[in-house]
Amino acid sequence: MEEALELAERALAYADGDAQVTVVHERSLSSRFARSAPTQATSVEDTTVEILCLRDGHTASASTNRLDEDSLRVAAGRADAVARASARGGR
């Protein structure tokens, strides 16, 4: 997995203006037993990138768990567009 800081820097490069990027990596393993016999095993490994944009005192965020360039660009664009729309609406 790509280092969280490198991923955050890539995502931040797509945000225009004031922005914050949060990267969360989750890894969990779980097993269930019934009468001492394993019945289910699950494994989850996921990374989520959240991009928060600030425009004229208004914020908006978008998140994605797809880590390719296009997905990061789209998430940053959505956060920016909603923050700008909110700012145009005033208080």
pLDDT at 2: 62
Q: Which class in CATH covers the domain with range 4-88?
A: alpha beta
What is the C-alpha to C-alpha distance for residues 25 and 45, in angstroms, rounded to an integer?
A: 7
Give the three-state DSSP class for 72: helix
pLDDT in tens, 27-63: 999 998 988 888 888 999 999 999 999 999 999 999 9
4-14 pLDDT per residue, tens: 999 999 999 99
**Residue partners of 80: CB distance under 8 A and separation at least 6:** 15, 16, 17, 19, 53, 55, 60
Neighbours of 50 (CB within 10 A): 17
pTM: 0.82
What does the pLDDT average to over 49-78?
96
